[in-house]
Amino acid sequence: MNCRISHPNGNINCGIDLPSSKSISNRLLIIQALCEKEFRIQNLSNSEDTKSLKNMLNSASNKIDVGAAGTSFRFLTSYLSTKKGEEFTLTGSNRMKERPIKQLVESLKELGAEIEYKEQECFPPLEIVGKNLKGGKVHIDGEVSSQFITSLLLIAPSLKNGLELTITGELVSKPYIKMTLSLMQEFGVSHSWINNIIKIKSQKYIAKDYTVESDWSAASFWFETAALSNNCNIKLNGLSENSIQGDKTVMELFEKLGVHSIFEKGTLTLTKNNNFNFPNTLDLLETPDLYQPLKCTLFGLKKIVEFTGLNTLKDKETDRVTAVESEILNLTSSKIIKTYKDHRMAMSFTPLCLKFGELQINNMKVVNKSYPHYWEDLKKAGFIITPSAH
C-alpha cells in the first residue's frame, strides 16, 4: 500500500518510544543459539528481520528462506555450517540472489565448512552440510561487508582451534565489529584485536539475561525530522547514552545541522539550535547507514556535501546511492517516492514533506523490516497520513 504524507505547520512536539536495536537483537539470537544454557532476551526487536531470524533458528525445516533479510542470511551461513550432521538449503528473495556471498563462503570453507552454490557461482542460494569446524587462520577483505566478519566472529568460540581473522584492506562499518565483540564479551567470550588481526580462542558462551537498547539507526530519522522542522521538541525514549551502536554519532553530526540533543533521565530530547557548520566532505566508511537520512536532510536544507566511504551501499536492499539520487529528482517533479523494497528509503524521504509539502511514499509496509510502528509514531508527531491507491 502507498500513502500520502504531510504536516500542517512544521512544528514537531512528541514523545516516541523507539524500536529496540535490530543489530543487537540479531547478534544476541545467534549467541543464544550457540550458548549451552538458556537465557532470556528482553526488549527483543519486533522488526521483520529479527522475527524471521528467530523463527528460522527455531524451525525444524532444512529449507530456510530468509526473504530480503541480508543480516539473517549472512549470520545463518556461518551458524548452519556448525550444525554437525544436518543439511540445509539457505535461500532468499530475488534481490538476495544478487547480493554476493563469496567472501564469507570461501572463508568458512577454509575453516572446514562444506558449502556449495546451488545456482549462480558466488551468490545465494547455498547448500550447507553442518560439521564440527576445525577453525584456524583466515583472511577476509574488510571492504566487502562487516556482516561477513561478524558472522565468522559469532561462531569463533565454538570452533575447535578458535579463529585468527586477518582483515585485509580498509575496514568498513568498524563500529559494527566493535558491537559484535562487545556483546560476545558480555557473554564471557574474550578476544584480542591487535592491528588488523582478531583472535578468539575456543571457549564457551556464558548465559545471562540481557535487555536490548533502542535503535540509534531509527533515531536518525527523528534527527532528520528535527532538522527539517520549523520548531521541535522531540523526546526519544529507550536509547543508551553509553551505546555500543556506532550510529550514536548521529548526535554530533546533527548538532552541526541545527539540532541540539541532550540526555535527561534516560530520554533524549531534540530541539533546534540553528547552528550550521557541517563539513564540506564527510567520510561515512564507519557508519554508512546514516547516508540516506543525512543526504535527504542536506538536500532539504539546500546544502551540498561530498560523501566518501559509500562502497558497500550498492549491495544493500537496493543500490542506495543511485536510488537516493533518483528519488531526489522525483521530489522536484512528481513527488511520488519509490522505496525499492528498502526500509531506509521510505524513512529518509518521508520527513522531506516538511520542506516540499505533501509526498507520496510507495510501499509503506517496507518499514516493517526495522521499524514496524514508524507510521504510528509519525502520527504522534502531527503528520497526516492517508492511504493512496496509486
Give the CATH number for residue 327: 3.65.10.10
Report cis status (omega within 30 of 0) of the bond before 100: no
Domain match, 144 and 271 both: no
Helix, strand, coil percent content, the chain, rounded in steps of 5: 40, 25, 35
Q: Ramachandran region of residue 339, left (φ > 0), alpha (ψ -120 to 50) or beta?
A: alpha
pLDDT given at position 315: 64
Q: 133 forms bridges with which residues in the sheet?
A: none
Q: 137 forms bridges with which residues in the sheet?
A: 164
Percent of the chain at pLDDT > 70 equals: 99
Of the two residues 308 and 274, the one the predictor is more confident about is: 308
pLDDT given at position 201: 98
pLDDT given at position 319: 83
Residue that is last in its domain, among 211, 246, 281: 211
pLDDT given at position 122: 93
pLDDT given at position 102: 95
Q: Is the pLDDT of residue 335 over 80?
A: yes
What tens digit of pLDDT does each residue of 34-81 get? 999 999 999 999 998 899 999 999 998 999 999 888 899 999 999 999
Q: Is the pLDDT of residue 359 over 70?
A: yes
For residues 208 and 49, what is the distance between their CA atoms, to the nearest angstrom? Answer: 23
Domain match, 240 and 371 both: yes
pLDDT given at position 291: 93
C-alpha cell of residue 18: 523507539
pLDDT given at position 167: 96
Domain match, 97 and 157 both: yes
Arithmetic mean of pLDDT, 124-138 = 97
Q: Which burial class, exposed, middle or buried, applies to 209 when counting CB atoms under 10 A from its CB (0-12, 13-18, 19+)?
A: exposed
For residues 191 and 179, what is the distance between their CA atoms, to the nearest angstrom? Answer: 13
Q: What is the DSSP string of 310-367?
A: -GGGGGSSS-HHHHHHHHHHHHTTT-EE--TT-HHHHHHHGGGHHHH--EEES-GGGG
| Confidence band of 274 (pLDDT split at 50, 70, 90) | confident
pLDDT given at position 70: 87
Q: 197 forms bridges with which residues in the sheet?
A: 166, 194
pLDDT given at position 95: 85
What tens digit of pLDDT does each residue of 247-273 get? 999 999 999 999 999 999 889 999 999
Domain match, 270 and 378 both: yes
Q: Ramachandran region of residue 309, left (φ > 0), alpha (ψ -120 to 50) or beta?
A: left
Of 212, 180, 247, whose CA–CA distance to 46 is shortest? 212
Domain match, 341 and 218 both: yes
pLDDT given at position 200: 98
Domain match, 42 and 119 both: yes
* Average per-residue pLDDT for the chain: 95
Q: How many structural domains compose the chain? A: 2
CA 69 centroid distance within chain: 10
pLDDT given at position 144: 80
Q: Is the pLDDT of residue 318 over 80?
A: no
What tens digit of pLDDT does each residue of 199-246 get? 999 999 999 999 999 999 999 999 999 999 999 999 999 999 999 999
Range(s) of the domain holding residue 362: 2-19+213-388
pLDDT given at position 317: 66
pLDDT given at position 51: 92
pLDDT given at position 143: 84
Taking a C-beta distance cutoff of 8 angstroms, is the pair 111, 139 a contact? no
Domain match, 367 and 262 both: yes
pLDDT given at position 312: 72
Whether the model pTM is above 0.85: yes
Domain match, 70 and 218 both: no
Catalytically active residues are: 289
Arithmetic mean of pLDDT, 331-337 = 93
Domain match, 64 and 75 both: yes
For residues 90 and 99, what is the distance between their CA atoms, to the nearest angstrom? Answer: 14
pLDDT given at position 170: 87
Arithmetic mean of pLDDT, 105-127 = 96
